[in-house]
Amino acid sequence: MGEGSGHSERLMLRRRTLIAGAGVGAAVTAGLVIRNQFRHPPAYYKAQLDGRFRRLVLSWPTSNTLVFAVARARFFERYNLDVVPVEGARTGRGTIADLRGGHCVGAVAPLLTWLDVFREGGLQARIVAGMQSGAFRLLLRRGVKVTRLDNVAGLRIAFTDRDMADRLFFSVMMRRKGIDPESGVQWVVISPDHVLDAARGGEIDAVVAHDPLAWQLLHGPNPLFSELANSTTGHYGERTNLALGLSDAFLQSDPAAAVALVMALRAASGWIQAQPDQVATLLAGQIAGMGADELRAMLRHETLGVSPVGADLRVQVAQYVDEMKLLGRMPDTVGSSAYARKICFNVLQAEAPGQYWSLPVGPT
């Protein structure tokens, strides 16, 4: 990547296709600004997408495919992308494992899961954008006499997968209420298909899950649960849960593709916020077997359009780092803001043209 002749301030991002693709689309100007890092009046570089067709592979958690489904239906083609998911059921840890193994260029997972994996080391990737807010819900079996989160100590709480962030999220909330989330409650892992049977049999007192599963448990026929707490209100509702991470190799080899991918996914997130009724109609029957009416009702009770990048993303990641410290899953000596800067990368506004090629390899 380089500057144009005559010290021009225009920067054209070059294409290097990671996964075979063919065809040329109309050039699309991103209208992005990349700032020079020197202290004198900065030179500005206008990044442009090259309009080339690309076929990319992403790994996406199968328990929450809303943004991907909308992007695939309406936005990937506009950015000259054909994006296919890794086949098979995927949890947050599973998607990141796909990225680590080189099976995809990017993965989507809950930020709490990303931080857990980064802490373990060896992952050469960066978080580049939030995808959507969380819709975590703690549901009580009807008949359990608890009215506040402060009083959940001693309960048997089900969660549906060890790799998902549902348990981590509510562990943070319990810690803030003075409850030890490891010894203060009894965690029980149960497959989604057996949650209702376990509740009917009195084997569990509560369940933590996220939409759409949590919504279905709460609003199905003759529901067995009531909602005690969620992440859809207050400051939690304004924070991203799912986040896109891209491999360092992909960021360095094909930055124009990274820009196109982030822009397409953020466009999908924004459209979901602006047109929830159309989203429900478009995806009826595609999301966990939910019809348009069920999807529409669920979307009305979620915070939509949360897709931060850049400084906004780093602030939220730093908040999550602080919460991981509460759980003892991140050393207290780690500077939260500095760590967020290290593992995040803004493909839409890099500080200097050469930064795409000079990334340190993996966070430490």
Note the pLDDT of residue 350.
Answer: 62
Average the pLDDT over 237-254 and give the result: 94
Record the tokens describing residue 321, joined without a space. 């780092």
Region of residue 210 (phi > 0: left; psi between -120 and 50: alpha; otherwise: beta): beta
Task: Please check whether residue 40 is in contact with residue 89, taking contact to mean a CB–CB distance below 8 angstroms.
Answer: no
Is pLDDT above 70 for 352?
Answer: no
Between strands 156-159 and 81-85, the pairing is unpaired
Note the pLDDT of residue 363.
Answer: 59
Task: State the greatest distance between any 2 C-alpha atoms of the chain, in Å, as a whole number.
Answer: 76
Task: For residue range 185-214, list pLDDT tens digits in order.
Answer: 999 999 999 999 999 999 999 999 999 999
Strands (E), 74-216: 81-85, 106-110, 125-133, 136-141, 156-159, 186-189, 206-210
Edge-to-edge order in the sheet of strand 44-48: 10-12, 44-48, 32-35
Q: What is the mean pLDDT of the chain?
A: 84
Q: In terms of pLDDT, which residue wins out, 50 or 222?
A: 222
Tell how far CA 169 is from the center of its chain: 14
Record the tokens describing residue 154, joined without a space. 């001693």
Note the pLDDT of residue 13.
Answer: 33
Task: For residue range 11-60, list pLDDT tens digits in order.
Answer: 333 333 333 233 323 333 333 332 222 223 333 334 557 789 999 999 99
How far is Cα 305 from Cα 96, in angstroms, rounded to an integer?
23
How far is Cα 251 from Cα 127, in angstroms, rounded to an integer?
11
Average the pLDDT over 223-234 and give the result: 91
pLDDT band at 103 (very low <50, low <70, confident <90, very high): very high
How far is Cα 79 from Cα 267, in angstroms, rounded to an integer?
10
Note the pLDDT of residue 39.
Answer: 29
**For residue 158, which of 173, 170, 175 has the smallest C-alpha distance?**
170
Q: Where are the alpha helices (DSSP H) in the chain?
A: 66-70, 92-100, 111-120, 166-176, 195-200, 213-219, 234-237, 248-253, 255-274, 276-282, 292-300, 310-326, 336-343
Helices (H) and strands (E) in the chain, counts: 13, 13
Note the pLDDT of residue 53.
Answer: 95
**For residue 242, which of 333, 133, 329, 122 has the smallest C-alpha distance?**
133
Task: Please check whether residue 76 is in contact with residue 46, taking contact to mean a CB–CB distance below 8 angstroms.
Answer: no
Note the pLDDT of residue 134.
Answer: 83
Q: In order of start, what are the domains of the chain with their CATH numbers?
A: 54-133+238-343 (3.40.190.10), 136-230 (3.40.190.10)
Note the pLDDT of residue 29.
Answer: 30
pTM: 0.83
Bridge partners, 11 (sequence order): 3, 47
Whether omega for the bond prior to residue 221 falls within 30 degrees of 0, making it cis, is no
For residue 240, the surrounding DSSP H or E stretch is strand 240-247
- List C-alpha distances in Å: 354 to 75, 97, 153, 236, 347: 29, 29, 53, 36, 12
Name the one residue in this structure whose structure tokens are 């369940």: 207
How far is Cα 133 from Cα 130, in angstroms, rounded to an integer?
8
Task: Please check whether residue 90 is in contact with residue 61, taking contact to mean a CB–CB distance below 8 angstroms.
Answer: yes
Is pLDDT above 50 for 9?
Answer: no
Average the pLDDT over 150-161 and give the result: 94
